[in-house]
């Protein structure tokens, strides 16, 4: 493992265009529960009840309770050494982009600048009827939250299962991985599309792929290096 970490460190520090792709595992050490695996949110709750457009249409109060619970939790935690290491890497390498599936805002809180949030952000709301969008940091958001523009119901500005990602955001992410020489994938089970497919796109374009995860994942076979360990312990060692 020591040799793998050393090789990954050299690759990362020698990179001209580095992309990091992160998932819930990078925030686990901050105290934000992951989705799959032990203690995962989707072990305790059904995704179809809480994170789909259908769930919101059927029971918006329940969906808002779920997001208010996550708002409360996320408002009480902060970034960890793994988030911080990615901030440092952005300062070291010539070009850096951070693509995250997380909605917890912890990368921004840590100070990452070139950040692409594939699944939205927990602190933003949008109207379920019109194009209204706003930042809203209230915890909790009182139910029912009403759109000031059209009177429709506001919803979290996040991507739910069965919804498309924002096209501009996804295109930006694809363009970054296509140009990257090195891609560092941290704390994702790599099962949710299209986010996971970015790894394969990077591979096709010739990038060197490094994975940091507690466990093997769906994508492990295509990585050049897979490091098993906690993100908060491994990433600071790259600097
Ligand atoms: P998952 O919960 O599916 O996967 C988390 C991954 O992090 C697992 O592979 C763990 O082994 C790993 N992990 C846990 N703790 C870690 C640590 N301290 N250090 C390193 N790795 C660790 O989360 P995501 O892959 O992010 O989407 O899930 C993808 C999407 O599914 C989420 O963005 C969310 C979810 O449903 C939507 O809500 C649309
Ligand atoms: Zn509206």
Give pLDDT, residue 118: 98
> Structure tokens of 112?
């990452």
Q: What is the pLDDT of residues 171-189, one digit of tens each?
A: 999 999 999 999 999 999 9
Residue ranges and CATH numbers for the domains of the chain are 1-31+79-119+165-239 (3.40.50.1220), 33-76+121-158 (3.30.1600.10)
Give pLDDT, residue 182: 98
Q: Which residues of the chain have pLDDT under 50?
A: none
Q: What ligand has the least distance to the C-alpha of 30?
A: 1
Ligand 1 atom nearest the C-alpha of 188 is: 25
Q: What ligand has the least distance to the C-alpha of 147?
A: 2
95 is catalytic: no
- CB of residue 35 inside a 6 A radius of ligand 1: yes
> Structure tokens of 224?
């050049």
Q: What residues have a C-beta under 5 A from ligand 2, the ion?
A: 127, 129-130, 132, 147, 149-150, 152
Q: pTM for this structure? A: 0.98
Alpha helix segments (H runs only) across 76-194: 81-92, 106-110, 167-179
- 106-126 burial string, b = 16+ CB within 10 Å, else e? bbbebebeebbbbbbbbbbbb
């Amino acid at each position: 493992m020591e040799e793998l970490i050393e090789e990954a460190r050299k690759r990362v520090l020698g990179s001209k265009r580095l992309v990091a792709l992160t998932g819930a595992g990078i925030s686990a050490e901050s105290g934000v529960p992951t989705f799959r695996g032990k203690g995962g949110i989707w072990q305790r709750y059904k995704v179809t009840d809480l994170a789909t457009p259908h769930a919101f249409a059927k029971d918006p109060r329940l969906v808002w309770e779920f997001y208010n619970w996550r708002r409360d939790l996320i408002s009480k935690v902060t970034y960890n050494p793994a988030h911080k290491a990615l901030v440092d890497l952005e300062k070291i390498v010539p070009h850096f982009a951070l693509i995250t599936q997380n909605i917890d805002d912890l990368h921004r809180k840590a100070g990452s600048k070139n950040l692409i949030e594939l699944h939205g952000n927990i602190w933003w709301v949008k109207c379920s009827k019109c194009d209204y969008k706003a930042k809203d940091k209230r915890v909790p958001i009182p139910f029912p939250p009403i759109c000031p523009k059209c009177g429709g119901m506001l919803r979290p500005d996040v991507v739910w299962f069965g919804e498309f990602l924002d096209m501009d955001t996804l295109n930006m992410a694809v363009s970054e991985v296509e140009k990257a020489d090195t891609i560092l994938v941290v704390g994702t089970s790599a099962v949710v599309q299209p986010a996971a497919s970015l790894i394969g796109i990077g591979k096709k374009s010739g990038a060197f792929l490094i994975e940091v995860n507690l466990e093997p994942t769906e994508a492990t076979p295509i990585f050049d290096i897979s490091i098993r360990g906690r993100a908060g312990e491994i990433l600071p060692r790259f600097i």
